Amino acid sequence: MFKRLRGLFSSDLSIDLGTANTLIYVRGRGIVLDEPSVVAIRQSGSMRSVAAVGLDAKRMLGRTPGNITAIRPMKDGVIADFTVTEQMLQYFIRKVHQSTFLTPSPRVLVCVPCMSTQVERRAIKESAEGAGAREVFLIEEPMAAAIGAGLPVEEAQGSMVVDIGGGTTEIAIISLSGVVYSESVRVGGDRFDEAITAYVRRHYGSLIGEATAERIKEEIGCAYPGGELREIDVRGRNLAEGVPRSFTLNSNEILDALQEPLASIVAAVRSALEQSPPELASDIADRGLVITGGGALLRGIDKLIAEESGLPVIIAEDPLTCVARGGGKALEMIDQHSFELLSTD
């Protein structure tokens, strides 16, 4: 009852609860929040309190003293730490509703990986409810990504989406507002970072942190040979000497480092094409597939997938926000038709 009252003062939200970043789309206002899904927990005695959330917490990653731990509560697209996720969501929802007086109680649409289990979905739903949501809808990530990319999901035509996120890569073939085939591999931006870290350790005998690996990926990472050669200076701790050393990496080395995770993505795309019904496969062959998510920003990823699959490949505009925007559009559609886009709980 009181929740309903508070609902009058809150706007509907679409939340892309990602492994790497959480985005919130507010109905009528667009995307208002894009922050890393990181929570810093301060432990004093037996008391655990949230020290920082989002950007502030991300800066702490790997740089925390003993009593603070920076946690990424989402792992592989699903909740790894329930209570921390709830607190993070609560913080974000509050942050979005800065102007209202009452504690917000919005209707929330949360995107879930398509291969997540019922237990994982329930966990996400409950954590959103725990964060104060009045009503929680779940939508499968590739569906939201397809809507966000502007694909004709409601038509009787196959559309293929590859959403390369932080924790997972979601591949789905969508027709008539439903997911015909979906595939989720637990390879994403995090795996790219790990691969780069492992490569540097193997070839340079140096340890680099998560944040450095991410910076390398963003600046010189590429998925397809050719194009200009880029270089970056990196500092890491030399394992043999035990002191920080500086060295230079180039994009070809990173391409080499990323081979393995990229291969699993390509394999997943291929397997999706193999398993799709022939009519839809021909639609997709004609129109191509769309890449969304942070992984789409990796240089040459479209070329790689185009070459490996033989399909036209489009990188969605503003790929990072596709899922959140798609969720927002789905939220607007909820009122229009009782809604088959939403996943069943």
- Position among 313, 323, 330, 342 found at the interface with other proteins (CB under 8 A): 313
Where do runs of H (alpha helix) occur along 103-168? Answer: 118-130, 141-148
Residue 76 or 283 having the CB closest to other proteins: 283
DSSP per residue, 293-315: SGGGGSBTHHHHHHHHH-S-EEE
Window 71-110: residues binding other proteins (CB under 8 A) = 94-99, 101-102
- Of 22-30, 113-121, 160-168, 191-199, the window that binds other proteins (rule: CB under 8 A) is 22-30
336 touches other proteins by CB under 8 A = no
Residue type, 305: I
Q: Are the C-beta atoms of 206 and 200 separated by less than 8 Å?
A: yes
Q: Which residues contact 191 (CB under 8 A, 6 or more apart)?
A: 261
Which residue in the block uniquely carries the two structure tokens 């209707």? 107
Nearer to other proteins, 151 or 234 (CB): 151
227 or 244: CB nearest other proteins: 227
Nearest by Cα to 327 from 10, 92, 31, 6: 31
Query: Is 321 a binder of other proteins (CB under 8 A)?
Result: yes
Residue 100 or 238: the one with the smaller Cβ distance to other proteins is: 100
Which residue from 11, 34, 130, 267 is in contact with other proteins, where contact means CB under 8 A? 34
Per-position x/- string for 173-212, each x denoting binding to other proteins as judged by CB under 8 A, each - no binding: ----------------------------------------
Q: Do the beta carbons of residue 187 and residue 113 sit within 8 Å?
A: no
Q: Of the two residues 150 and 209, which places its CB atom closer to other proteins in the complex?
A: 150
45-74 footprint of other proteins as x/- string (CB under 8 A): ---------xx-------------------
Among the candidate windows 122-130, 230-238, 275-283, 306-314, which touches other proteins by CB under 8 A? 306-314
- Of 35, 86, 170, 253, the one binding other proteins (CB under 8 A) is 35
Q: Which of 205, 218, 178, 264 is nearest to 20 (CA)?
A: 218
Distance of CA 52 to the CA centre of its chain: 21
How many CB atoms are located within 10 Å of the residue 258 CB?
23
Distance CA 275, CA 273 (A): 5
218 contacts other proteins (rule: CB under 8 A): no
User: Terminus-to-terminus CA distance in the chain, angstroms?
Assistant: 23
Task: Give residues in contact with other proteins (CB under 8 A).
Answer: 23, 25, 28-35, 54-55, 94-99, 101-102, 149-152, 287-288, 290, 302, 306, 310-317, 320-321, 325, 328-329, 332
